Structure 1
Amino acid sequence: MKPTPGEGWLAASTLRRRAAVLAVAALGVVLLGPPLFDVWDDWTNPPFKPLWTTLIENGIGVVLAGTLAAGGVWLSRQDWEDEYVYGAAEWVIAIVVGHAVVMGWILFVQVYLQGDLKPYVIAMDGIVLSADVALGVGIYNARSKRNRDRLEAERDRLSALYENSSDPIATVRFNGDAAVEAANDAFRERLDASADDILADAPRDLRAAAVREHGIDGTLEYDWDAGDGRDYRVNVTPVDADDEDVRVHLRIADITEQTELAREAEARERLEHLHRVASDLATVDTVDSAYERTLNALRSAVAFDEACVVVDGEVVAGRDAGTWLDRESIERVQTGAVPSDGGAITRTVEDGRTVLTVPVGDDAVLQAGVDEPSLRDSQITAAELLGTHLRETRQRLDREERLRDQRERLELLNRTFRHDLMNDANVIDARASLLEEFVDDEGEAYLETVEERADEMSERIETMRSLMKAVEGEDHDLTPKPAAEVLKSQVDDARETYRGAAFEVDTPLPAVDVLADDLLADVFQNLLANAVEHNTADAPHVRVSAERDGDDLLVTVADNGSGVAPERRDAVFDLGEKGEASNGTGIGLNICRRIVDSYGGDITVADADADADDLGGAAFTVRLPVADD
């Protein structure tokens, strides 16, 4: 409690304060005694001295002692803090005591040691002692004035800074409570908060008592929630001050725009991460792996405390969650929704957590629980995209599973069908061979028909085998194959099969390996057979050539037939496509294209003479990737 102006020393707040002002006044009264006694002695005891001379002699002592006593009374009536009052009293008593000790020593030396009292020496020593005290007081005053000037300069500098800054700025003084000592217009107009409210969010204790006791070392910076929906950053910097008060400089910067930009950048990074997750999900081969990777990505997108994937009411994967997080949200969610549908919902459950529920198809949801009161729109959108990616991945895996089942059933049917038919064809062919010696000339024609049909059945079964392998081209294991050897082997077989046709090979063939499998022979066999069987010339002529073209090998099979009309050169590779005079199945060239496509190559048809050939028929060219040397 501070005394108010006009109150006496009885209103002082502490006993120490009272004792201090009383000591000063009492010292003045005590020092007033000697000059008054001397006046009384000179006037009443012989030799009597004139009153005016003794008053002149002791007037200075009376005035100075009276001033000291009056100073004690004046000091008690000031509204200074206690420490200033007893500090002033301590200086008075210390100087008086020190002066008395020095003068006492001088008197002791003159009277008792020298036996001769020398007033002029006493006076001179008193003057020197007063000069030393005056020097100390002058130095103290000079230093105080220097500190005041520095403080005023600092305040002037801060005032200029306040006026030129658009950020709220203030100086807070810690003497009693933390109080705003000075502030610019931005602080007064934009902030409806006390200094204690602003400092409450600091990373260390900045309450007034703690600051007065420990001070502040270095600059502090922290984020402050003003409760107005905007983001602020507070900078607390200690400033020069006097010995009694601690002051700090506050700058409050509105960082809402910077925060929004940072959040947008974070959202962009989150979306980029989701795109990488989508690519990652495209490679998983089990639904469990898809669930695990989705939950890992969801942690980055939402920073959940717990999460799970629920399918048909059962948790199939989770993070810190053994069951679904909110049953009501699962029942309310819009199944099959995509992000543009707004399918995800957020709900605050009984324990205060926020639960985000995202639909994943018609039978599943993705749930995440956070302790935050709400989620940002970018986080919800990211979770919805994850739900969409997971839904598409589940659909892909389901399709792949159905395709695998269909392929397995088809392969089983194909193997069974092919095995049984091949056995039947072999039995028919064998039995027909045994019947040759038992039939007459009239039945021989029928027997030849049986043998031909049995051979056709065998050929069609082999064709079916090639077609099935071509259809399953994505499962091919490609290895380096010697193209020249495979091609020569198929030409030799064709010469044995079609003895009425002429086969010509342009040698030498490039000795390179191509990336292929055992179906490469089927490609060459089909092209050679096609060049003979669909040839309208009386004497079929087939020319085979090959050349290296960069990283590819070009193999051309040309014939002297009627060729392929330009408008049919694409359609000729379609399944079931065959010429009007053809007795084939129309799948041979389609099989060739499928096989070559699975190798990463292609097959085309042109006129034979367009390839600098004089045969005049069709020229089929196969482009095959060359294996690395």
Structure 2
Amino acid sequence: MKPTPGEGWLATSNLRRRAAVLIVAILGALLLLPPLFDIWDDWTNPPFKPLWTALIENGIGVVLAGTLAAGGVWLYRRDWEDEYVYGAAEWVIAIVVGHAVVMGWILFVQVSLQGDLKPYIIAMDGIVLSADVALGVGVYNARSKRNRDRLEAERDRLSALYENSSDPIATVRFNGDATVEAANDAFRERFDGNADDILADAPRTLSTESVRESGIDGTLEYEWDAGDDRDYRVSVTPVDADDEGVRVHLRVADITEQTELAREAEARERLEHLHRIASDLATVDAVDSAYERTLNALRSTVAFDEACIVVDGEIVAGRGAETALDRESIERVQTGAVPSDGGAITRTDEDGRTVLTVPVGDDAVLQAGVDESTLRDSQITAAELLGTHLRETRQRLEREDRLRDQRERLELLNRTFRHDLMNDANVIDARASLLDEHVDEEGERYLETVAERADEMSERIETMRSLMKAVEGEDHDLTPMSAAAVMKAQVDDARETYQSAAFEVDTPLPDDDVLADDLLADVFQNLLANAVEHNTADAPHVRVSAERDGDALRVTVADNGPGIDSDRRAEVFELGEKGEASSGTGVGLNICQRIVDSYGGDITIGDAPGGLGGAAFTVRLPVADE
């Protein structure tokens, strides 16, 4: 307890404090006795000496001893802490005892060993001893001043730093409890001048030993959760360390914005990664490969400890998991959900592990388990998008399987039409020709019907062959071929078939090769037949023209028929669409469009030019590279 100035000797104080200052006062009183005794002896005992000489001789000793005794009283009355009071007393006691020992030894040697007192030797030894004590005091004062100067420079530097920084900054003495010695306004306002909670989260113990091991320059940095939805980075720089604890420079920086920017950058990178994964999944041709690539992508997205894909309750792929991670979540998850529906759910199991469950269609889920207590929203969203990509990939592979099966069936049907049925139709036609000489007039009428139906059957078989080959799409083997040569051949066939119609060809036709196959002839054949069969003019007139248009060839078949209304031009390409007076099947133009689409071209309908007044079908075909 600190004594209040003026309370005197009766004030309650620390026992050690009272003992220390009492010893100093007693030493002063004891050292005062020899000069007082010498003054009394010189004045009262022979040979009598003048009093004034005795006072001059012992005045210095009286003053010094009295000062020491008074100093003990003065030291006791100071409002210093006890440790400083008895620290000063200890110095006094140590020096007095040291002097007494040295001087006692000198007197012992001179009296006992030499039998002769030598005052000048005693005086010289006293001077040397005092000089040594003075040197020690000087060195101590110099070191103290050096430390004070260094601390003042440090305080000046920190003060300047405090004034120029908006971050909370403080100087803290830490020895179990943190005592803030200085702080800027930001620290006082934000943390009420308390640093205990901040330093309590330091990743290593702050002590004199640890600071000495790491060095004064061993700055410690760590992230601190203040419980206010803000992110902080704490920097602890040791200033000095002694037996009384560690002085540190403490800086608390609000890094919420930087953290958010880093998280946004991480989220963007994660989404870009997912887009790359989506492109990667678009190229897989087996569902097992899709599962493996999805789990690889999930590791970089969620950083799971274990993960799996479960289909119809059975695990089909996994990383560190042999069974489903959370059966309850599989039962609860919204099947078929997409990210906007909030399809994914997270749940903490009995082992404290967080399990993320993402629906992948109606029959599958993607699960990831992490040891952390929570997952960020960006991680959950990324996992949901990954689940969506996997769902779409599974659907694509299922469609491709169905299309592959359909192509195989179409190919089988195509071979059946082209081989078996066409052979049967040819056999019927050949046998009908042989019966022509063996039937009477009444039988000829039935025979003609058989021949006509056989011809119609052959035409329909060819039509179905073209349709099935057209729907094979990308399986076509396209080669460069002359569109002009194909068109001229089909015009010649049309002239023989429709002898009442006039066919006009603008010459010369461009001599350009286009990428096509043998179905190109079917396109031109259908367009020429359509121009005649749907023509209501007394004398059907068909004009064929072609021109180069950049990297494409435009072929136009125009007629002088009734034309096609603009609001019906898209409908005529639909399967089964035919005019009221048409006796056809309604598949010819649909086949033409499918074939041209498979070439990478297009077919359009417009008005016939040059006064024909009918319809004009224009086919645009890509030109083969030269």
For the residues of structure 1 that align with 2:479 and 2:97, how far apart are their CA atoms?
Answer: 107
For the residues of structure 2 that align with 1:332 and 1:236, how far apart are their CA atoms?
Answer: 48
Contact 2:563 2:607 in 1 (8 A): yes
Deviations 1:232-285 (A, max 9, x none): 221223448999874212122344455455445544554555455455544543
| Equivalent residue, structure 1, for 2:6 | none
For the residues of structure 2 that align with 1:332 and 1:562, how far apart are their CA atoms?
Answer: 64
For the residues of structure 1 that align with 2:593 and 2:451, how far apart are their CA atoms?
Answer: 31
Contact 1:174 1:208 in 2 (8 A): no
1:40–1:568 Cα change, 3 Å: closer
| Equivalent residue, structure 2, for 1:289 | 289
| Equivalent residue, structure 2, for 1:599 | 599
Deviations 1:357-389 (A, max 9, x none): 233333222211111122334433443343344
Deviations 1:178-237 (A, max 9, x none): 433334566456548974542343354423542256543153321013455543221223
For the residues of structure 2 that align with 1:515 and 1:384, how far apart are their CA atoms?
Answer: 43
For the residues of structure 2 that align with 1:193 and 1:407, how far apart are their CA atoms?
Answer: 79
**Structure 1 segment 226-241 matched on structure 2, within 5 A:** 226-227=226-227, 230-239=230-239
Deviations 1:153-194 (A, max 9, x none): 654665676688765433211467543333456645654897
| Equivalent residue, structure 1, for 2:202 | 202
Residue identity opposite 2:476 in structure 1: H
For the residues of structure 2 that align with 1:514 and 1:411, how far apart are their CA atoms?
Answer: 26
1:621–1:189 Cα change, 3 Å: closer
Q: TM-score, normalised on structure 2?
A: 0.78
Question: What's the secondary structure of 1:357's corresponding residue?
Answer: strand
Residue identity opposite 1:80 in structure 2: E
Residue identity opposite 1:459 in structure 2: E
Residue identity opposite 2:616 in structure 1: A
Residue identity opposite 1:483 in structure 2: A
For the residues of structure 2 that align with 1:170 and 1:476, how far apart are their CA atoms?
Answer: 78
**Structure 1 segment 434-513 matched on structure 2, within 5 A:** 434-439=434-439, 443-444=443-444, 446-495=446-495, 497-498=497-498, 502-513=502-513
| Equivalent residue, structure 2, for 1:109 | none
Residue identity opposite 1:386 in structure 2: L
Residue 79 in 1 paired to residue 82 in 2?
yes
| Equivalent residue, structure 1, for 2:622 | 625
Q: Which moved further from structure 2: 437-446 or 505-514? A: 437-446
Contact 1:308 1:366 in 2 (8 A): yes
Q: Which moved further from structure 2: 403-412 or 301-310? A: 403-412
1:43–1:295 Cα change, 3 Å: same
Question: What's the secondary structure of 1:80's corresponding residue?
Answer: helix
For the residues of structure 2 that align with 1:489 and 1:31, how far apart are their CA atoms?
Answer: 144
Cα distance, 1:73 vs structure 2: 10
Contact 1:170 1:183 in 2 (8 A): yes
Contact 2:495 2:503 in 1 (8 A): yes
For the residues of structure 2 that align with 1:118 and 1:291, how far apart are their CA atoms?
Answer: 106
| Equivalent residue, structure 1, for 2:362 | 362
Contact 1:305 1:368 in 2 (8 A): yes
| Equivalent residue, structure 2, for 1:7 | 15
For the residues of structure 1 that align with 2:383 and 2:188, how far apart are their CA atoms?
Answer: 43
Contact 1:9 1:73 in 2 (8 A): no
For the residues of structure 1 that align with 2:415 and 2:493, how far apart are their CA atoms?
Answer: 26
Cα distance, 1:554 vs structure 2: 0.6
| Equivalent residue, structure 2, for 1:306 | 306
| Equivalent residue, structure 1, for 2:323 | 323
**Structure 1 segment 143-162 matched on structure 2, within 5 A:** 144-145=144-145, 147-148=147-148, 151-152=151-152, 154-155=154-155, 158=158
Residue identity opposite 1:558 in structure 2: A
Cα distance, 1:327 vs structure 2: 2.1
Residue identity opposite 1:327 in structure 2: R
Question: What's the secondary structure of 2:334's corresponding residue?
Answer: coil
Cα distance, 1:534 vs structure 2: 3.9
1:180–1:477 Cα change, 3 Å: farther
Residue identity opposite 1:434 in structure 2: L
The percent of aligned pairs where both chains have the same amino acid is 82
Deviations 1:548-589 (A, max 9, x none): 111221112234445445554333333233344443322212
Deviations 1:313-362 (A, max 9, x none): 21011121111112222233333344454443322222211112233333
1:280–1:90 Cα change, 3 Å: farther
For the residues of structure 2 that align with 1:5 and 1:182, how far apart are their CA atoms?
Answer: 30
Contact 2:542 2:557 in 1 (8 A): yes
Residue identity opposite 2:600 in structure 1: G
Q: Which moved further from structure 2: 281-290 or 370-379? A: 281-290
Cα distance, 1:426 vs structure 2: 1.0
Question: What's the secondary structure of 2:83's corresponding residue?
Answer: coil
Residue 401 in 1 paired to residue 398 in 2?
no
Question: What's the secondary structure of 2:419's corresponding residue?
Answer: helix
Deviations 1:50-78 (A, max 9, x none): 34313312332454467568879998998
- The number of equivalent residue pairs is 603
| Equivalent residue, structure 1, for 2:111 | none
Question: What's the secondary structure of 1:53's corresponding residue?
Answer: helix
1:92–1:483 Cα change, 3 Å: farther
1:536–1:324 Cα change, 3 Å: same
Cα distance, 1:29 vs structure 2: 10
1:549–1:334 Cα change, 3 Å: closer
For the residues of structure 1 that align with 2:566 and 2:29, how far apart are their CA atoms?
Answer: 136
Long gaps (5+) in structure 1: 13-17, 105-116
| Equivalent residue, structure 2, for 1:250 | 250
| Equivalent residue, structure 2, for 1:350 | 350
Q: Which moved further from structure 2: 308-317 or 219-228? A: 219-228
1:489–1:75 Cα change, 3 Å: farther
For the residues of structure 1 that align with 2:570 and 2:142, how far apart are their CA atoms?
Answer: 107
Q: Which moved further from structure 2: 261-270 or 346-355? A: 261-270
Question: What's the secondary structure of 2:52's corresponding residue?
Answer: helix
| Equivalent residue, structure 2, for 1:15 | none
For the residues of structure 2 that align with 1:162 and 1:11, how far apart are their CA atoms?
Answer: 44
For the residues of structure 1 that align with 2:396 and 2:159, how far apart are their CA atoms?
Answer: 68
Cα distance, 1:306 vs structure 2: 0.9
**Structure 1 segment 510-525 matched on structure 2, within 5 A:** 510-525=510-525
For the residues of structure 2 that align with 1:223 and 1:94, how far apart are their CA atoms?
Answer: 56
**Structure 1 segment 534-545 matched on structure 2, within 5 A:** 534-536=534-536, 540-545=540-545
1:360–1:29 Cα change, 3 Å: same
Residue identity opposite 2:402 in structure 1: R
Deviations 1:135-164 (A, max 9, x none): 996797577457536634654665676688
For the residues of structure 1 that align with 2:565 and 2:336, how far apart are their CA atoms?
Answer: 51
| Equivalent residue, structure 2, for 1:110 | none
Residue identity opposite 1:527 in structure 2: L
1:312–1:416 Cα change, 3 Å: same
Contact 2:216 2:239 in 1 (8 A): no
For the residues of structure 1 that align with 2:420 and 2:189, how far apart are their CA atoms?
Answer: 95
| Equivalent residue, structure 1, for 2:391 | 391
For the residues of structure 1 that align with 2:242 and 2:302, how far apart are their CA atoms?
Answer: 51
For the residues of structure 1 that align with 2:267 and 2:213, how far apart are their CA atoms?
Answer: 45
Contact 1:212 1:246 in 2 (8 A): no
1:269–1:41 Cα change, 3 Å: same
Cα distance, 1:465 vs structure 2: 0.8
For the residues of structure 1 that align with 2:414 and 2:445, how far apart are their CA atoms?
Answer: 33
1:27–1:87 Cα change, 3 Å: closer
